[in-house]
Amino acid sequence: MQPVLALLEKFGFSQQQLGQFRDQVLSQLLQATSGTLPFLLQTISDITALVIVITLSVYFVVDGPRIIRWLCKKTPLAQQSTINFLVHTLDQSIGGYFRGSLILATIGAVSTGLMLTLLHVPYAALLGLLFFLLFFIPVIGGIVIGALCILAALSQGLLTALIVAIFMTLLQSVVLGQILLPRVYSRTVGIHPIVAIFALLVGLQLFGVLGGILSVPVAGVLQQIIVALWRRWKAEHPEKFPAEVATAPEDATAPHAKPVTEKP
C-alpha cells in the first residue's frame, strides 16, 4: 500500500483523505469476508444434501426389494399387517420418489448432452453429467447447470448461446417441470400431480433445498396413511355413510332388455 499512497500524495491527496480511503477499503473487505463464510457453509450443506440424496437413491434402487422382504418376514405376527403397510407405504413413497428422480435426471442429462453435442458445444458430456447430479437440488441446481451450459455455448457464438438458453428453459420449466415431473411422481409415488406440485412449492418455501427434496415423498407417505386411516374409520362406522346401491347396467344391444328395479 505504501507505493500507492505515495503516488496518491503526489496528486494532491492529504494523509487524512488517504487514511479515510484505507479505512473504507478495509471495512469493505471485512464485510465481504464475513459474508463469504455463511455462503461457503450453505454451499457445503447443499453439496452434502446432494451426496446423501444420490447415495440413498442408489441404495433404494439396488437393495430396496431385499430390505422390504426382510422387514415383512421378520416382524412379529401380531404387528405384521401394520408393519407391512408402513413398509410398503415408505417403499412406494420414498423409494418411488428416488426412482422417479433418477428417471427425470437421466432424461434431462441425455437430452442436454445430445443437444449440446449437436450444437458443437465443448464439454457436452461433462455438462450432461453435471445436469444429472445437480437435478437433485431443486431450483438452485437448475439455475447453475443452465448458466454453465450458456457459458460453454458462448464459445460458439451468441446465436448458439441463445439457442441453448431457450432449450434449457423449455427443458427444465416445461418438459421436466410441468409435463414429466408431475406424471412420473404420480406413477412412482402414487400421488396426484397437483399434490406433487403443491408439496414441492410448500417444501421449498418453508424448508429450502432440503424441504424441496423431501416434500414429495413426505406428501406420499402422509397421503397413504390418511387414506388408510379414513378407510379403517369408514369400515368401523358404516352407519355414518349411505348404503351403496349396485344397479346392473342396461344392455343397449339387447332388444328385450328390461330396466332393473329395486325391491323395497
Contact 125, 76 (CB under 8 A): no
CA 50 to chain centre: 11
CB 150 within 8 A of CB 168: yes
Ordered per-residue pLDDT tens for the chain, 264 residues: 667 667 667 766 667 776 777 777 777 777 766 667 777 777 787 778 777 777 776 777 677 778 777 877 777 777 777 777 777 777 777 777 777 888 888 999 999 999 999 999 999 999 999 898 888 776 677 888 889 999 999 988 889 999 999 999 888 888 777 788 777 877 777 777 777 778 878 887 787 766 777 777 788 778 878 887 887 787 777 777 776 655 555 444 444 444 444 444
Neighbours of 130 (CB within 10 A): 18
Can you give the pLDDT at residue 89?
Answer: 74
The DSSP-derived string for the chain is -HHHHHHHHHTT--HHHHHHHHHHHHHHHHHHHHHHHHHHHHHHHHHHHHHHHHHHHHHHHHHHHHHHHHHHHHS-STTHHHHHHHHHHHIIIIIHHHHHHHHHHHHHHHHHHHHHHHTT-TTHHHHHHHHHHHTTSTTHHHHHHHHHHHHHHGGG-HHHHHHHHHHHHIIIIIIIIIIIHHHHHHHHT---HHHHHHHHHHHHHHHHHHHHHHHHHHHHHHHHHHHHHHHHHHHH-GGGSPPPPP-PPP-TT-TT--------
Residue found under cell 422382504: 69
Q: What angle do CA 38, 55, 198 make, to 5 degrees?
A: 70
Using CB atoms within 10 A of its CB, is residue 203 exposed (0-12), middle (13-18) or buried (19+)?
buried
pLDDT at 262: 47
Task: Give the number of C-alpha atoms closer than 13 A to the C-alpha of residue 111, restricted to the C-beta side.
Answer: 15
pTM higher than 0.75: no
